[in-house]
Amino acid sequence: IHGVWPDHTDYIMYDCNPNKEFKKIYDKHLLNKLESRWPQLTSNEYAGLNDQTFWKYEYEKHGLCCEKVYDQSQYFDIAMKLKDSIDLLNILTTNRIVPGFQYSYTGDQISSAIKRVTQKDPNPKCTYSKGGLELKEIGI
């Protein structure tokens, strides 16, 4: 998971409430669930669980935009439920799309595999790397 971002048809929703802050998570069970589904890849596991920098960033930038509907706990719960309901790696490997530089796939192959399961058009984003395009993230 990179993040869960509320969406509005007329404008981009981010930095909606700069006066509110993320509340550090202390519940060990919740921390373990979050770490397994939404690892903080910019730090080691110990620092990630202790500092919670990425979760804090994502919640303050995006999660606070839906705080009138979902509190912080619900925001992270929704993120984990979405992750559990849409296992992108499983969807891709089931459709013989395997990660790695030795393999090459078209955007249509990737999008079609995901749409067959989710019934929605995904939003794949690529970046140039090592002289070619590399899949960076997939928006659902």
**Tens digit of pLDDT per residue, the chain (140 long)?**
888 888 777 777 888 888 899 999 999 999 999 999 888 877 888 888 999 999 999 999 999 998 989 999 999 999 999 889 888 889 999 999 988 777 888 889 999 999 999 998 999 988 888 778 888 888 88
Instruction: Give residue 113's pLDDT.
Output: 95
**CA atoms of 45 and 60, how far apart (whole Å):** 21
- DSSP assignment, residue 24? P
The residues carrying an active-site annotation are 2, 58, 62
Instruction: Give residue 18's pLDDT.
Output: 84
What architecture is domain 1-85?
Answer: Alpha-Beta Complex (3.90)
Three-state SS at 79: helix
User: Do the beta carbons of residue 110 and residue 135 sit within 8 Å?
Assistant: yes
Instruction: Give residue 62's pLDDT.
Output: 92
The tokens of 45 are what? 């596991």
Stated pTM of the model = 0.80
Q: What residues does each domain of the chain span?
A: 1-85, 88-139
Instruction: Give residue 114's pLDDT.
Output: 94
Instruction: Give residue 56's pLDDT.
Output: 94
Instruction: Give residue 97's pLDDT.
Output: 92
Nearest to 110 by CA among 127, 123, 101: 123
Nearest to 42 by CA among 54, 24, 60: 54
Instruction: Give residue 57's pLDDT.
Output: 93
Instruction: Give residue 109's pLDDT.
Output: 93
